[in-house]
Amino acid sequence: MSFSIQTNVSSLIAQENLRVNNEFQSRTIARLTSGYRITASGDDAAGLAVANKYRSDIAELVQGVRNANDGISTLQIVDGGLNNVAKILDRLKTLATQSASSTFTGNRTTLNNEYQALLTEITRQANNIGLVSGGTNNVNITVYGGGGSTQANSQVSMDLSGSINRVDSGSLGINSTSVAGGGSTLTGNSVTTLSSTTSHLAAGSQSFTFRVYNSSLSTHGNVTVTVTGGTSGVSGTDAVTQLNSSLAQYGVTAAINTSSALTFGGTAAFSVSVSAVSGGGNAIATATATAVNQGTYRYTSDAFSSVSASTTNGEVVTFQNASGAANVTFTSSHTTQDLAISVINAQTASLGIYAVVDADGTGFSVQSASDFSIVKTQAADAGTVFTTGTGAKTVTDADTTALTTANALASLSALATAVTNLGVVQGKVGTGQNKLQYAITLAQSQISSFSAAESRIRDADMAAEAANLTKAQVLQQASLAAMAQANAAPQAVLALLRG
């Protein structure tokens, strides 16, 4: 081996090893002080990419847990409101049950005043919890919890949209119910077997024609409801359910009275006619039986006679109640009974006075929940809408004695359905809370698992790094000592020059 003073190879080797040892010590110190195994991308590029994915998933899940807790809070607010509505329904049922007893000797008007106030309160509270048409919670509520393989799997949905999930008094089908005295029996009806066990309309059907008008309808008209018995027939209770499912929107409700006969109630103006049974089975009402709402003040006309086309002076009639007066003029353009009824309702609906065709279809009935008067102030040159001659027309008082419980009985039927419908909504809200709670449990489990997986990749082994620091310090000191010896080695060449 030759000696060289130009290139000190040993020193270069010592320098390189010192550099390596310094970098090893720097990395070890960085890991010990940061707590991470990967302090730069170059430490483990592939591992860093995986760890970053876990960290991103954890961030999503942590916010998802917050979202789910917010969703639970919203549903708890809704649930509290629904519980309160349920309590109001309990009170409504109490009032209706009290009024439905023929032995009640108190003032049914007082009962009905509270009843109507509570119907308004239900709607107010339904607005507050957002379960009305256009309400904030009458939607398909979705909560993004994260952690899923797809966005769809990361969301929890609670469908509270549509009319079936609204809990205002109108959506529950009780806005037009009443517990005031009065109601409607079917004149000429001899069927009194509408029990929950007797079978009716086996392999048959029976139709009911309602002429109805209330403030929620834009026009009067005929509403035909057909009750079907199917192969084995239906009970009286089931028949009433079929009727009410179609009649609720019109403010008319059907019920079975204490004599097991069909009755009708409601605040709307209406009349009813019954058809014969088609097919077979026992009837639920006698064919050709009719009814007019006895729970209202009403005027019943003679057969309609249209104003003549040659009329110069039309017929003028004044309707008046505590809310005001309306003057209605009939001219030669009102050639049919339907046209005459339409012009009456156009002027009087704002007063709560409505006209509908009589059950027999030959005349019409003017009805109102409050007392009113009709005065014919001018007769037409030819033809009549109201009875011949000018002057006051007879308005019959609401019948509060012949059938005092019909409205209350009809209300009880409507309230039973309302309780069921409210229970469905409460069930959906409760299910939503449970789903979100389970989603939180899963998310927290995923957060723990993802955090552990990220830790195994990203975090430093502190015991190992402490040992590495000791190793790095020893190697550094040894490198420095060796480099000092390597730097001194060329001086040995001087010994060759002595002499």
Tens digits of residue pLDDT in 25-34: 888 888 888 8
Helix, strand, coil % over all residues of the chain, rounded to 5:
45, 20, 35
Mean pLDDT, rounded, for 379-398: 86
In terms of domains, do 108 and 230 share one?
A: no
**Which domain covers residue 416, as residue numbers?**
49-179+405-450
- 303 in a domain, yes or no? yes
Closest to 377 (Cα-Cα) out of 310, 322, 410, 330: 330
In terms of domains, do 338 and 325 share one?
A: yes
What is the Cα–Cα distance from 129 to 116, expressed in whole angstroms?
21
Predicted confidence (pLDDT) per residue in 464-474, tens digit? 888 888 888 88
In terms of domains, do 276 and 156 share one?
A: no
Q: Can you spell out the DSSP letters for 22-38?
A: HHHHHHHHHHHHH-BS-
pTM above 0.85, yes or no: no
Asked whether 229 and 258 are in contact (CB, 8 A), the reply is no
In terms of domains, do 171 and 115 share one?
A: yes
Closest to 384 (Cα-Cα) out of 318, 478, 449, 303: 303
In terms of domains, do 282 and 322 share one?
A: no
In terms of domains, do 280 and 191 share one?
A: yes
Asked whether 177 and 414 are in contact (CB, 8 A), the reply is yes
In terms of domains, do 125 and 207 share one?
A: no
Q: In the structure encoding, which two tokens stand for residue 307, read together?
A: 């104003």
φ, ψ for residue 155, nearest 5 deg: -115, 145
The pLDDT score that the predictor gives to residue 401 is: 45
- 464 in a domain, yes or no? no
pLDDT bracket for residue 220 (50, 70, 90) = low
DSSP-derived pairing of the beta strands 324-330 and 221-228? unpaired
- 491 in a domain, yes or no? no
Domain boundary, last residue among 227, 260, 295:
295
Predicted confidence (pLDDT) per residue in 391-438, tens digit? 999 998 876 544 567 678 778 888 988 999 999 999 999 999 999 999
Domain boundary, last residue among 358, 393, 428:
393
- DSSP letter, residue 493: G
